[in-house]
Amino acid sequence: MTTDELLSLYRTLFTIRLFEQSCIQLYREGLVHGYLHPYLGEEAIATGVCAALGPDDYIVSTHRGHGHCIARGGQIERMVAEIIGKETGYCRGFGGSMHIADMETGNLGANGIVGAGIPIGVGAALGATIRKEQRVCVVFTSDGAANHGTFGEALNLAAIWNLPLMLVVENNQFAVSTPIDKSSRVADLYHRGEGYGVHSVAIDGNDVVEVLHEAQQSRQRCLDGDGPVLIEAKTYRQAGHHVNDPGSYMPADQVAHYKAHDPLLVCRRHLSASGADSSQADAIEAEVHTAMDAAVLFARDSPEPSVEDFLHFVHEAAGGSR
């Protein structure tokens, strides 16, 4: 890859990293209501996969979804505003961290229900097939979701209907505090795709270049009509399950191992191998800091939704009456 291409990936990686750190800070200030599940340590998956997509492709996200939205081109100021409940947010501040959707970028939405995004993505891929559109649907999902009924049922339908579905299993090795070896006898979750006759691979989810290359090949398979693919991206959550979880159950040697294999460090190594100077990545970090500061300021200065809007969108529009 060229240095410029790598720098572009680095910009997305660092934007996600800083976005999550900024949201944690806002949470500590008491501005975030509800849960916040940081994507720290998993940035290379969203970045690499979304860099392989075309403008018409869809994505479906998870409860740990900020990175997917950013990598797909979401506006960070509207995301922060949503997360702190402001009117300028993606859902006018009524959805919060786990319900951001952005139809303009084909982001069909995050989802607070583990495993629930998979059937939605299968539906989107089925729609694209019926309409004979050249587009794929990526469903980001998780190791915990791989134990849900929706995983097998939806993947089987995608297989028999030969749908252009890319199921990306972000195996961060924990579901809340339960390590993968306590929830599955199969450590390599991609084998589950093989059981449904789906082309399935495992990759290093911390290496953005490896993720991008696999995502490009998988997308082409889908567009060639070869049916769904399952990509198990092996990674590690570099924090507790949610912002208030200290993650004290995470083994120190594992944490240290993955910190040394941090997605940003891995990308910097690729940059250095391409002949780039480290100051080029540093300059990008400075630019992202400026953009993030502006996004936080925009969100802080934005108005809260009115009580009228709250009653309309949350109550009346949902079928109730006043």
CA distance 45 to 209: 10
Q: Which residue is nearest to ligand TPP (CB)?
A: 144
C-beta pairs of 287-294 under 8 Å, 24+ apart in sequence: 287/11, 288/11, 288/14, 288/15, 288/18, 289/18, 291/15, 291/76, 292/15, 292/18, 292/19, 292/22, 292/76, 294/77
Within residues 11-50, the interface with ligand TPP by CB under 6 A covers 37
| 103, 113, 294, 311: residue in contact with ligand TPP (rule CB under 6 A) | 113
- Binding letters toward ligand TPP, positions 273-302, x by CB under 6 A: ------------------------------
Looking at the Cβ atoms of 88 and 107, the one nearer to ligand TPP is 107
Block residue for tokens 């740990």 = 64
Phi-psi sector, 162: left (phi>0), alpha (psi -120 to 50), beta: left
Which of 266, 276, 298 minimizes the C-alpha distance to 13?
266
Residues 6 or more apart whose CB falls under 8 angstroms from that of 30 comprise none
Residue 144 is a binding residue for ligand TPP (CB under 6 A)? yes
Residue 175 is a binding residue for ligand TPP (CB under 6 A)? yes
Residue 142 is a binding residue for ligand TPP (CB under 6 A)? yes
Within residues 211-240, the interface with ligand TPP by CB under 6 A covers 237
Residue 174 is a binding residue for ligand TPP (CB under 6 A)? yes
Stretch that binds ligand TPP, among 1-9, 122-130, 143-151, 256-264 (CB under 6 A): 143-151
Block residue for tokens 């490896």 = 210
| 20, 143, 214, 232: residue in contact with ligand TPP (rule CB under 6 A) | 143
Looking at the Cβ atoms of 23 and 81, the one nearer to ligand TPP is 23
Residue 176 is a binding residue for ligand TPP (CB under 6 A)? yes
CA distance 202 to 3: 26
Burial call 96-106: b when 16+ CB within 10 Å, e when fewer: bbbbbbbeebb
Within residues 60-89, the interface with ligand TPP by CB under 6 A covers 63-64
Q: How far is the CB of 297 from ligand TPP (least distance, A)?
A: 30
Q: How far is the CB of 3 from ligand TPP (least distance, A)?
A: 32
Within residues 257-276, the interface with ligand TPP by CB under 6 A covers none
Stretch that binds ligand TPP, among 1-9, 83-91, 169-177, 249-257 (CB under 6 A): 169-177
Looking at the Cβ atoms of 17 and 86, the one nearer to ligand TPP is 17
Q: How many helices (H) and strands (E) does the chain have?
A: 13, 7
Q: How far is the CB of 126 from ligand TPP (least distance, A)?
A: 23
Residue 99 is a binding residue for ligand TPP (CB under 6 A)? no
Pairing of strands 178-179, 174-175: antiparallel
What token pair was written down for 48?
Answer: 């690499």
Query: Hey, CA dihedral for 221, 267, 207, 141, is it positive or negative?
Result: negative
Q: Please give the size of the binding site for ligand TPP, defined by CB under 6 A.
A: 16
CA distance 186 to 141: 17
Residue 111 is a binding residue for ligand TPP (CB under 6 A)? no
Residue 241 is a binding residue for ligand TPP (CB under 6 A)? yes
Q: Which residues bind ligand TPP (CB under 6 A)?
A: 37, 63-64, 112-114, 142-145, 172, 174-176, 237, 241
